[in-house]
Structure 1
Amino acid sequence: MSNELDAGDHGPMKLLTTMFSSLQEKFHRDRSDRDSTLPRPTAPALVVTSARDQSHLFFEYLVVVSLRKKRGEGMYEPQITYQFPKLANMRCSQRAEEEKSLKAILLFCFPEGVNWAPLTEYASETFSFVLTEVDGSRRNGYCRRLLPSGKGARPPEAYCIISQVACFGLFSKIFDEVEKRRQISMAMIYPFMQSLREAPFPAPGNTVKIKSFIPESGTEVISLTRPLDSWLEHVDFRTLFRCLTDEEVLLVFASTVLERRIIFMADELSTLSQVLHAVAALLYPFTWQHTFISIVPSVLIDVVMAPTPYLLGVQKNKLDDVIDQSDVSVYGRIGDESTILPEKQQQELLQALCCRKDNSTSEELNKVVSDAFLSFFVKTVGHFPSHVKRRSGGEPGVFQIKSFCKASEPKGSRQFVKRFIQTQMFDLFIQEVERPPTQEGFFHQKIAEYQQSKKKEKAKRGWVRGLVV
């Protein structure tokens, strides 16, 4: 889907790299002598270079991140206190690569920083983030924060699973099982994760069953089902529409399609990650190509000053740190977004979104929402296949941009199309289209269905006119 701290060109990435390096220097300059032998975390800590192909596995590893009080300072810092499987089981080159990514995991598991106080109550929450490799591929981080069992005030701890699989709902259920076992004993987590790691990741729509033993309960069989629509399995639109009205969602969508800088603010980490991933999913079949950080750690808050497009999730207690950026689209601050989308398509989108039901399942809601926005792209830019001139001999095609713009129907959508074709997401999409044709995907199928419906409607109107005559 989207890349955390990933940019569309080297200039923005260099800026973010420099910014991250200086902030990390400030954050870690007061580490004790025992850490002096470890590599100092710099920007590459957010860029994973592992080339291992573990796409057939549920996950690569699980880490437990605990908050440890710093001596004499009254502040806490996150530390990894448990990992499965151990880095010692990896080759030296793999272990060095993972040490870098583990530094980044610490930041994302506790993005608030070092200011914590022991708690007696804490509602567990689940959120996600993305680690981007140097070759552009991605690994997903899923995190469940909870208050460990015990008496008295104590800081929360985080359980983080790193996986190449993008399926938030599935890993939320896995965390339910992890949390249940944690309340019994840390030792109960290991056999469950071992069984999960040995199980093959199911194909879309399929189910895998995991057997796990729990004292006093016996052997349990846990069923994990993967959604049929795999391109939506990392998304739940319910949180997005709980936070925003339909009209506000359209304003955010309008800003996103023109690749503007957008910050969404909320108190809960789970809300931030779910909303940001939902917003990115509205762009299908296009992909957000710029900086995407679903949860911005405190030490990286200066990323809001980057002059390039981004989608950021920032906790509300950092509002004062970003409010001075007057040219940034923060939720609740409206500019010309209401005039970006063609008026007719805006009304059609709102009508389509009204079809969702309050008691619908996540799959039903995802279908209603995704169909609405996919239909928008079909009607505004779905005529692109007719404007790709194919050459003989399997050579790449050439996109005829002028004829494409002139052919936009209705005419009211042409201004939007002229602006949208200037975005990087459209440019990269067309680059893929210009390559030698392969099997047509879901978007092409929807275009064909729409064009067929238009032909039938045109034939029907002609038949009715014939009857009248």
Structure 2
Amino acid sequence: IQMLPKFCFPFDIERYTASSVVQNFTFALTDLEGNQRFGFCRLAGGFRTCLCILSYLPWFEVFYKILNNIADHLAKEQVSLGLLDPFRWLPPPPVSLGPSMTISQGQGCNLIAKKMGYTWNQLERMAQDRGLWRSRNLTEFVVAVDVPNMLQLYGSMLYERRILLTSSKLSTLTACVQASSAMLYPMYWQHIYIPTLPPHLLDYCW
């Protein structure tokens, strides 16, 4: 895929200030039939190396763990054909993996539920059925976005508006995009969907 490096490095490498922070993020490639193939990336400190796995399966936690495992072996110069053996016999994960997260019912939660036409208990049951509370993406989304902006974002998605999210961290950006999309269930976003927008696709913003 010739465009793959532009999605793995969605910024001007020469002009971007290097950072020692390692970031995990995703991008999505959509074919003519609307099928999405996800790119799971691990951007190394200094932003000079990026490991990437392409898959049609949205298994965020699994692929991030694999990427981190590969990076550890590369750092120790222990790369071998048996590198992924520990993952070979793992069963398919549920909808999402990650540590459990509990959100207590409060005024903000009730407001969100009311705007969506549900009670908070109904929303909680729906989310638990889909495994959203165990979602790493949702955890970052709740931490990064306050309730008013969350409501505005959800309403904009229901009205199918053009939405542009920005963040200083790629990992936070793509987590918020993926979590927002998941919260539309049982509906789904049917239009242009680019979790990470490389410079060569900036025309989509106009």
Q: 1:278 to 1:292 in 2, by over 3 A?
A: same
Greater Rg by CA: 1
Query: Which position in structure 2 is the counterpart of 1:340?
Result: none
Give every structure 1 segment of 4 or more consecutive aligned residues whose post-TM-superposition deviation is greater than 3 Å: 116-119, 196-201, 228-235
Percent pairwise identity: 26
> CA–CA distance in 1 between the matches of 2:149 and 2:15?
34
**Which of residues 9, 19, 30 is equivalent to 1:132?**
30
Q: Which amino acid aligns with 1:243?
A: A
Partner of 2:68: 176
Give the alignment's TM-score, normalised by structure 2: 0.73
8 Å Cα contact 2:13/2:47 also seen in 1:
no
Looking at structure 2, the residues matched to 257 and 118 of structure 1 have their Cα atoms a distance apart, in angstroms, of 36
1:301 aligns with 2:202: yes
Q: In the TM superposition, what whole-angstrom CA distance separates every residue of 1:165-200 from its partner, at most 9, and x where no partner exists?
A: 111122222222122112111x5264213x267546
Output the aligned Cα RMSD.
2.8
Greater relative contact order, per chain length (Cα 8 Å cut-off, separation 6+): 2
1:226-284 CA-partner distances (Å, limit 9, x unpaired): xx956647662122122221122011111110101111111111111000111111111
Q: Look up the match of 2:176.
A: 275
Corresponding letter in the other structure for 2:12: G
In structure 2, do the counterparts of structure 1 residues 203 and 172 end up closer, same or farther at CA, with 3 Å as the change threshold? Answer: closer
Deviations 1:349-376 (A, max 9, x none): xxxxxxxxxxxxxxxxxxxxxxxxxxxx
Match of 2:39 among 141, 158, 166: 141
Distance 1:285 1:155 in 2: 37
Show the counterpart of 1:408: none
Match of 1:103 in 2: 2
Shift of 1:138: 2.2
> What is the TM-score when the length of structure 1 is the normalising length?
0.34
Residue of structure 1 equivalent to 2:167: 266
**Which runs of structure 2 are paired with 1:341-420 in the superposition (5 Å)?**
none
Work out the CA distance in 2 between the residues paired with 1:266 and 1:143. 17
Query: Which segments of 5 or more consecutive residues in structure 2 lack a partner in the other structure?
Result: 98-127
**Paired residue type of 1:268:** K
| 1:167 and 2:167 aligned | no
The aligned runs of 1:17-416 (5 Å cut-off) are 102-116=1-15, 122-147=20-45, 156-185=48-77, 187-188=78-79, 190-193=81-84, 195=85, 198-199=88-89, 201-202=91-92, 204=94, 232=132, 236-305=137-206
Query: Match for 2:199: what amino acid?
Result: S
